[in-house]
Chains A and B, each alone.
Chain A
Amino acid sequence: GAVVSQHPSWVICKSGTSVKIECRSLDFQATTMFWYRQFPKQSLMLMATSNEGSKATYEQGVEKDKFLINHASLTLSTLTVTSAHPEDSSFYICSARDRILPIYEQFFGPGTRLTVL
């Protein structure tokens, strides 16, 4: 159990285009989902926290108008990178927390590698 999927697993796009990444909890309901970004040989940095049905909370330094997050249901959150530029190229990983389990364990998706040309 506790499987999180991401789609696509990788994407290449031209500078200036927008890219949408989906994150789904397959066998549990996730009240809260998190989006992380990882640059090469660096650790995961939290970008934002999203709660189902409400606006996402962004970490300092993350542009909310550039990284649009929607958490429309208990099993789906989306991250849209708007007007992508080469510096947005990174590994994006989503995480979900089971609303039932009391231990606050986070489950992670396999990641999406974004390359902006």
Chain B
Amino acid sequence: KQEVTQIPAALSVPEGENLVLNCSFTDSAIYNLQWFRQDPGKGLTSLLLIQSSQREQTSGRLNASLDKSSGRSTLYIAASQPGDSATYLCAVSNGNTPLVFGKGTRLSVIA
């Protein structure tokens, strides 16, 4: 059974710092990996999707990498801003199976 772990569980950084969020998964036979953002009491916002054949995806200040063989992904946020404060969720799918989520990393960016 696929399990997804996210480290750290919580992170607090001053504005302007670059930061890395980590995600690991137990079954490397994934089809794709997605990173989401969730604001308190709200739904999910999809940030990046990486297919298993890809090594990274970029969107603005966000860069996600995937090392499928080692079961790891990282989300890099450059020049963090207070508006980046949210919970970041990593999720993987083995293809036809539904996404399995990690518990998330709660990020606070302090002005």
Contact = CB atoms under 8 A, between A and B. Distances in A.
- Chain A contact residues, majority secondary structure: strand
Nearest to A46: B98
Interface stretch (B14-22, B56-64, B78-86, B99-107): B99-107
Of the listed residues A44, A45, A110, the one surrounded by the most CB atoms of chain B closer than 10 A to its CB is A44
B49 interface: yes
A93 interface: yes
B8 interface: no
A43 B49 contact: no
B111 to A, nearest CB: 24
A44 B49 CA distance: 18
Contact of B101 (A43, A105, A109): A43
Contacts of B102: 43
Given A43-B89, A43-B103, A108 B31 contact: no
B69 interface: no
Contacts of A106: 34, 93, 98-99
25 contacts: A42-B103, A43-B102, A43-B103, A44-B89, A44-B91, A44-B101, A45-B101, A46-B100, A91-B41, A95-B98, A103-B51, A104-B93, A104-B95, A105-B32, A105-B34, A105-B49, A106-B34, A106-B98, A108-B36, A108-B43, A109-B43, A110-B42, A110-B43, A111-B42, A113-B41
Interface of A: 34, 36, 42-46, 49, 91, 93, 95, 103-111, 113
